[in-house]
Each structure stands twice: as C-alpha cells, then as structure tokens.
Amino acid sequence: MPAITFFEEGISYKLKNKTAVRKWLTDTIVAEGFKLTELNYIFCSDEYLLQINQQYLDHDTYTDIITFDNSEEEGIIVGDIFISIERIKENAGKFSVTEAQELHRVMVHGALHLLGYKDKSAADKKKMTLKEDHYLGERTF
C-alpha cells in the first residue's frame, strides 16, 4: 500500500491537515505518471540537517531540505525527505508567506526532485518553480 509518513527527529512538530497533505502529494506524484510506494518526510532541526548535509553530501551549509531517492525501479517513488523546520520558519518570514505555505512549497519541491526535476541551472530552477506553483494551486485545504 502506498504510504506517505511523517516523522520528527530531534524536534517536536505536528503537521496540520496530514490526511489532506498526503492526498495532495500522492495526487502530485500520480499526475506526473509515477507510482508511489513509500515516501517519508522527516521534520528536523537545522543542526540535524546540517549533519546529514555534511555526512552524506559533503556540504558544510545549512539548507531547508535534503531529498534521498531510494527507488530501485524507474517510475516508482521510494524516498526520504528531510526538512528543517527552523529554515521553513525563517524563510516564511523572508518570503512574506505563512509557515504552512513555505512548508508545502518545500514538501512538493522534494517530491518533484524524486520525479526527476532539477534546480541547479536557471532554466531548471524556473521549470521547478512553475511545477511547484502549479501543484500548490492544486491544494484543496
């Protein structure tokens, strides 16, 4: 059974509208032609995500999200997405959006990475942002 699961690591954080968020993310994955098997969102602190960034990606910087694609078959989504709630809160203020809006953007951003979208070049980043905006507009909650 396809599953999106939410965890907290080293922090206490309760995601609002879990059922609606699961449906929205699942619908996003299906709309892109993929099959969801397992997707874990792990909400954590800046320091926890920094350690992951250093250990697994050899980057010594803070970030809002790190996505690990654990899929072994093309078209099948299995992954872990780590999100710093501290970065979400800070970026929400910086971009003048609610924390929920920023969190949803970052959550769909991670899912889009698993679907093959990139964001390193300007052209890829523009395409990613358009996809984020599209799927954010699909939310019904």
What's the pLDDT score for residue 85?
98
Answer yes or no: is pLDDT of 59 > 60. yes
Q: Which of 133, 90, 84 is nearest to 112 (CA)?
A: 133
Instruction: Please report, rounded to a whole number, the percentage of residues in the chain having pLDDT higher than 70.
Output: 99
50-69 average pLDDT score = 96
pTM for the model: 0.96
Q: Which residues, other chains included, contact 105 with Cβ-Cβ below 8 Å and sequence gap of 6+? A: 97, 132, 136
Answer yes or no: is pLDDT of 64 > 90. yes
What's the pLDDT score for residue 75?
97
Q: With cut-offs at 50, 70 and 90, classify the pLDDT of residue 14.
A: very high
What's the pLDDT score for residue 2?
61
Residue 87 sits at the vertex; the CA angle it makes with 86 and 89, to the nearest 5 degrees, is 65
> What's the pLDDT tens digit per position in 95-137?
999 999 999 999 999 999 999 999 999 999 999 999 999 999 9
